[in-house]
Amino acid sequence: MSEPQQSKKPCVDAVDRVLIAAEDLFATCGYDAVSISAIAERANVSKANIFHHFQSKRSLYISVLKAAANHSTMLLMGLEETQSGYADRLTMLANGHLTNYLNHPNKSKLLMREILEHTSDAEIRVLQDDFGRNFARVTSLIEKAQTDGEIRQDLDAAIVAVAILATNIFYIRTREQMQESSKISFADDSDLYSTQMMDLLLNGMLSR
């Protein structure tokens, strides 16, 4: 029984290399500019090997996107299961979202590109729908916090969700510029940024 498992391992390794290479090239160059030949060369496999596992470049691209979307979904599912207070959960959400962006910039770039492009491709529309469901999970978490009295009930939960996610996206997009300023202490400390930003969003800036 052990021999079939050993014979499959090189194939699994090849698939992983193809997915990693495709993710990097698609994120850097865009879908249209990337060829199967380029992916094969980057992954150190043959074109025939790629087509053995993926029917087309499009199916490979969709597989890359699905793997990227899974990161965000797993983060939110974990928050739904934790017993921490809502303020702590939202802080963990913000930190986890930012950390995910920093640790997987190519995945984040690909997902953001597809979410904003409103493609008519039915399979990619499913990923956009996943984003909608994940955003609904965040707003639901905020609404529960409002019901529990931890967050003001006169706020639109969707606006709170946008504020949390938007501050992270701004940090990602401007981090290199912030690193050039001696007055910005958190440019190289995403945990400090995330913690203080959530403290600001949850508690406000007015002196008490």
| 91 and 25 part of one domain | no
Confidence of residue 102 (pLDDT cuts 50, 70, 90): confident
Which of 38, 54, 70 is the endpoint of a domain? Answer: 54
| 85 and 166 part of one domain | yes
Q: Taking 50 as the threshold, does the pLDDT of residue 5 lie above it?
A: no
| 82 and 176 part of one domain | yes
| Whether 86 contacts 150, CB under 8 Å | yes
| 165 and 69 part of one domain | yes
| 78 and 114 part of one domain | yes
Q: Is pLDDT larger for residue 36 or for residue 77?
A: 36
Q: Is pLDDT larger for residue 101 or for residue 46?
A: 46
pLDDT at residue 110 in the model: 85
| 47 and 86 part of one domain | no
Residue 80 in any domain: the answer is yes
Output the pTM of the full model.
0.74
pLDDT at residue 4 in the model: 46
Confidence of residue 26 (pLDDT cuts 50, 70, 90): very high
pLDDT at residue 196 in the model: 94
| 94 and 192 part of one domain | yes
Confidence of residue 198 (pLDDT cuts 50, 70, 90): very high
| Stretch 177-200: mean pLDDT | 92
Q: Is pLDDT larger for residue 11 or for residue 145?
A: 145
Per-residue CA distances from 73 to 2, 79, 137 (Å): 34, 10, 9
CATH number assigned to the domain comprising residue 4: 1.10.10.60
Which of 12, 32, 54 is the endpoint of a domain? Answer: 54
Residue 208 in any domain: the answer is no
| 138 and 119 part of one domain | yes
Confidence of residue 6 (pLDDT cuts 50, 70, 90): very low
Distance CA 208, CA 196 (A): 17
pLDDT in tens, 103-159: 888 888 887 777 777 666 766 666 667 778 888 888 998 999 999 999 999 999 999
Which of 27, 54, 81 is the endpoint of a domain? Answer: 54
pLDDT in tens, 57-80: 989 998 898 888 777 777 777 776
| Whether 9 contacts 2, CB under 8 Å | no
H or E element in which residue 155 lies:
none
| Whether 125 contacts 119, CB under 8 Å | yes
| 25 and 98 part of one domain | no
What the block records as the tokens of 12 is 């699994």
pLDDT at residue 73 in the model: 77
| 161 and 119 part of one domain | yes
| 37 and 116 part of one domain | no
Q: Is pLDDT larger for residue 185 or for residue 6?
A: 185
| 110 and 198 part of one domain | yes
Looking at residue 182, the DSSP 8-state letter turns out to be: T
| Whether 142 contacts 157, CB under 8 Å | yes
Residue 6 in any domain: the answer is yes
CATH number assigned to the domain comprising residue 66: 1.10.357.10
The range of the structural domain enclosing residue 100 comes to: 62-203
pLDDT in tens, 81-100: 777 888 898 998 899 888 88
Q: Is pLDDT larger for residue 135 or for residue 25?
A: 25
